[in-house]
Structure 1
């Protein structure tokens, strides 16, 4: 491939995350200014973790809809088939809820730890036709946070903080652009596997480490590393670009079906999209 053609085909996709980082930097600065001049609580600036997540929630509030217009691969087909009792990990402000068929879902539980996003999450659930079937939980996907919240909601028959719970609770579990940011991905995924009914389905749409040894590219992998160094996780709410999520999913338990495909494998932010069926 001639150099000009290679540049036209590769550079835009490799540099696109840099634009998102610039937008995130703007919201981080605006969050600092709001804390100082609007809230007048400068002491909050010393809570770096709280500041980061407040800035990321602001980013998602203003840009979540635009960031959810184009979803990779067979995303729409996969989520439109969700049915029964569904657990949605990290729904954010609910921009993707309109992609589901609410008529086929008897109950949906959204585990979202960012409380500033909940008002819009509930509003989007109503707009998508869920009504009282949608239950917004203030928790993350990690077992120590999720299990007590599910118990409190009434769907679990026992509680715990160590990740133990009754198996076979959910017909479907959706992980849509969220496993990149959970603190302990392997433990979290194993906990989700335990909550899935035998024969239940897990829908996956996650960006992952570039598969440069197989169908990816070494340049894409290098760019991922550089973005991480210059602050991607800090600005993006703990999001990690270099996670081996497919391996973590495969190791979580026994699967009757394990169907994941790479979308944009040569890019700096490649995705895996597909469905997993838990062994009955």
Structure 2
């Protein structure tokens, strides 16, 4: 392949994250200005973690719908088969809820740690037809945050920050573009595995470290390092480009089915999409 053709085929895909990184940085600085001049609470800037969370919520409020218009791989088909009691980790403001079939779902619990996104999340849940079947939880996916929130909601009978559900309580758990940002991915994924019923299904759509040793690209893997150095995790709410999520999922427990495929394996932001079924 001649160089011009290679450039035409690869550079737009490899550099697309640059656009998103600049947009995220813009929203971060706009958040600072809003805190100072609109909210008039400059002392809020002393808590950088909350500023970053507010900035990411702003980014998602303005751009989440566009970023969710096209999802990778067979995700739509996988979500259309979801049924029973579902745990949705990190739903944001609920842009993907319309892809579920509400008549198949008896209840869905959305664990979203960004309080600023909850109004949009509940609004989109109503638009999708969930009614009172949707329960928004102000928490993350990590056990120390999720378990108390589930206990408070009434679905989990154990309490405390280290509680687990030995036999599982959820028919399905959806992890859609969220495991890249949880603080302790191995522990979080293990905790989610324990919350899944035997025979239950986990739906995965996560961007991961580029598989450059097999079907990926060394250049794309290098750019993941570059984007990280330029501040991707800082501006993107803790999102990590270089996580080995498939390995963490496989190590979480015993699976009857482990079906993940790479989508855009040569991109700087490749995804793994598929379904896992917990062993009975």
Determine the structure 1 residue equivalent to 2:186. Answer: 186
Determine the structure 1 residue equivalent to 2:200. Answer: 200
Give 1:159 deviation, angstroms.
1.1
Determine the structure 2 residue equivalent to 1:214. Answer: 214
Per-residue deviation, residues 49-74 of structure 1 (Å, max 9, x unmatched): 11111100000001000000010000
For residues 163 and 13 of structure 1, the distance between their equivalents in structure 2, rounded to whole angstroms, comes to: 42
Determine the structure 2 residue equivalent to 1:146. Answer: 146
Give 1:85 deviation, angstroms.
0.2
- CA contact under 8 A between 1:180 and 1:243: conserved in structure 2? yes
- CA contact under 8 A between 2:164 and 2:195: conserved in structure 1? no
Per-residue deviation, residues 67-101 of structure 1 (Å, max 9, x unmatched): 00010000100001000000000000000000000
1:224 aligns with 2:224: yes
1:258 aligns with 2:262: no
Determine the structure 2 residue equivalent to 1:172. Answer: 172
TM-score (norm 2): 0.99
1:2 aligns with 2:2: yes
1:1-280 equivalence runs, <5 A:
1-280=1-280
Unaligned runs of 5+ in 1: none
For residues 264 and 163 of structure 2, the distance between their equivalents in structure 1, rounded to whole angstroms, comes to: 34
For residues 43 and 27 of structure 1, the distance between their equivalents in structure 2, rounded to whole angstroms, comes to: 19
- CA contact under 8 A between 1:72 and 1:263: conserved in structure 2? yes
For residues 165 and 255 of structure 1, the distance between their equivalents in structure 2, rounded to whole angstroms, comes to: 17
Unaligned runs of 5+ in 2: none
Per-residue deviation, residues 150-195 of structure 1 (Å, max 9, x unmatched): 0000001111211423422000000000000000000000000000
Give 1:29 deviation, angstroms.
1.1
For residues 112 and 24 of structure 2, the distance between their equivalents in structure 1, rounded to whole angstroms, comes to: 20
For residues 230 and 7 of structure 2, the distance between their equivalents in structure 1, rounded to whole angstroms, comes to: 23
Counting matched residue pairs gives 280
- CA contact under 8 A between 1:159 and 1:165: conserved in structure 2? no
- CA contact under 8 A between 2:204 and 2:275: conserved in structure 1? yes
Moved more, 37-46 or 176-185: 37-46
For residues 20 and 48 of structure 2, the distance between their equivalents in structure 1, rounded to whole angstroms, comes to: 21
For residues 261 and 33 of structure 2, the distance between their equivalents in structure 1, rounded to whole angstroms, comes to: 42
- CA contact under 8 A between 1:115 and 1:138: conserved in structure 2? yes
Q: Secondary structure, in 3 states, of the residue corresponding to 2:107? A: strand
RMSD, matched Cα: 0.7
